[in-house]
Chains A and B, each alone.
Chain A
C-alpha cells in the first residue's frame, strides 16, 4: 500500500532521515519506535507529505507522492492522520469537526456525513458530545474525536504521530483501546509511539529508527525478546 524508497529528509544542514526503505502492506499495523530525535515523527509526516522529503520516493497505492504533478489532496483523503496535539478545530462543534472535510470534499451530503459521524462517535463512546466544543472535552476524549475525524474520510491507512504523548497517564488507555479496536478491524496503521506495551501487543511489525535509518525491524517478538543490534538493546534497556 505504501512503499518507501530511499527516503531522505534534511533540515538545513541536519540529516534527519538518511535513506529509509520499507513497505506498509494492507492490514499491517506497523509501530515505529526509537529514541527521540531519531526521525520517527519526520518519517511519519513524510508519508502524507506534510513534510516534503528531500530525497527518495513515497509510493502510495501506485502513485509517487513526491511527484510534483500529483494531486496530493486526493491522496491525503485516503490517509488519515492523528496528531500528538489532537489539532481539533476549536471554533467548531465536535460534529462540525467531523463533517466539515467530508462535506467540503463532496464525499457525502451533510446529512450522510452527520449520520456517519454520529455512528463513529457512538463507537468511541462520545455520542452525547456531538454538540460540544473541543475545549469542553478532556484530552483523551479530544484524541478519540480526532481519530474519528480521520475515520470519517474512510481512509485506507491511518497515521498516528505519538497519539498518547500529550495525554495525562489516566487517559492513555482509552485512546489505545480505540486504536486496538481499529487494528482488530483490519485497518492499516502506522503508529509512532512510546507505548511499548501497545507496540508489543498490537503491532505485527516494528520499525526501530535510530539516526535516521531503520536500525532494526521485525515482529514484536523478535524486536522485544531477541534484539540484535546494540542500539536497540540499549534503547530497550532504557524504556522497558
Chain B
C-alpha cells in the first residue's frame, strides 16, 4: 500500500508540481508528427511501387523501374531501423532537422513494407474487375485508381493497421537523431530525477494506450467500410 502511495506522490511531484508534463506532451506531439508523416510517405511510396510492379507485369518499358523498386524494398527491409535513421541523419540529410530526418527515414522504411502489403491487396482483387473497367473504355490507370485500389485497401486494412502500430512503437528510436519524442522525453526526465519506476511505467502505459486507441479506431473503420459494400438482404 505504501509503495502505491509513494508511486503516486512521486508521479504528482515530478509531472505536475515540477511541471514536467509539458515535456511529455511535447514528446507526444513529436511522436505523432513522425508517425503520421511517415505513414503518409509510406502509403504514397508503397502504392507507387505496388502499381509500378503491377503495370510492369505486361510492360517491358517499366521493367527497369520495377527492378529499382525491388532493390529499394530489399535494401530497406534488410537494414535495422536505427541504422537507417543514423545513415539518413549523418550521411544523407546532413543539414536537415532531426524531426524531418525522422519523418523521411521512417517513411522510407514503412514504404518498403507497405509496397508488399498493397501489392497483395491488388492481387486479391478479382481479375474480372480490371476487365470490366477496361471493357467500359477506362484506361488501366483509371481502372486502377477508381476500381482496383479502393477494393485492395479494404482487403489490407487490418494489415495496414498492424503496420501503423509497429510504426508508432518503432519511432521510439527517434531519440538517436536528437528528436525529443515521447520516449526521449521520459528518458530525459528519468535522468533528471533518477525515478526509473515512475517514468518507465508511464512511458509503457502511454504506448499501450496509443496502441489500444489505434486498434479501436481501425476496427471502427473496417466495420464501416465492410458494411458499405457487404450489406446483404436479411
A48 surroundings in chain B (CB, below 8 A): 135
* Residue in A80, A101, A133, A153 whose beta carbon sits within 8 Å of that of B228 in the complex: A133
Q: Mark A70-81, 1 if CB is under 8 A from B, else 0.
A: 000111111111
B26 within 8 A of A: no
* Residue in A78, A90, A104, A150 whose beta carbon sits within 8 Å of that of B229 in the complex: A90
Chain A interface residue number, banded: 20 to 34
Q: Mark B139-182, 1 if CB is under 8 A from A, else 0.
A: 10010001100110010000000000000000000000000000
A79 touches B129 (CB 8 A): no
CA distance A100 to B143 in the complex (A): 10
B151 surroundings in chain A (CB, below 8 A): 89-91
A153 touches B147 (CB 8 A): no
CA distance A86 to B233 in the complex (A): 19
B229 surroundings in chain A (CB, below 8 A): 90-92, 133, 135
B230 touches A135 (CB 8 A): yes
A15 within 8 A of B: no
B9 within 8 A of A: no
Tell me whether A133 and B231 are in contact in the complex, defined as CB-CB below 8 angstroms, given that A50-B135, A77-B136 are known contacts: yes
Interface size on B, residues (CB 8 A): 24
A87 within 8 A of B: yes
Closest Cβ of chain A to B43, distance in Å, is 18
A136 touches B231 (CB 8 A): yes
A79 surroundings in chain B (CB, below 8 A): 135
Closest chain A residue to B142 by CB distance? A104
CA distance A90 to B124 in the complex (A): 14
B129 surroundings in chain A (CB, below 8 A): 87, 89
B230 surroundings in chain A (CB, below 8 A): 90, 133, 135
Q: Using a CB-CB cutoff of 8 Å, which residues 140-192 of chain A contact chain B?
A: 149-150, 153
CA distance A85 to B127 in the complex (A): 11
* Residue in A50, A88, A133 whose beta carbon sits within 8 Å of that of B134 in the complex: A50
* Residue in B128, B135, B137 whose beta carbon sits within 8 Å of that of A105 in the complex: B137
B126 within 8 A of A: yes
Closest chain A residue to B151 by CB distance? A91
Closest Cβ of chain A to B65, distance in Å, is 21
> Can you sample 18 A-B contacts with CB below 8 Å?
A48-B135, A73-B134, A73-B138, A75-B137, A76-B136, A77-B137, A81-B135, A83-B131, A83-B132, A83-B135, A87-B132, A92-B229, A101-B133, A133-B230, A133-B231, A135-B232, A150-B135, A150-B136
15 additional A-B pairs beyond A89-B151, A91-B229, beta carbons within 8 Å, are A50-B134, A73-B134, A74-B137, A76-B134, A83-B132, A85-B128, A87-B126, A87-B129, A87-B132, A90-B230, A91-B150, A101-B138, A133-B231, A135-B229, A153-B137
List residues of chain A with CB under 8 Å of any chain B CB. Answer: 48, 50, 73-81, 83, 85, 87-92, 100-101, 104-105, 133, 135-136, 149-150, 153
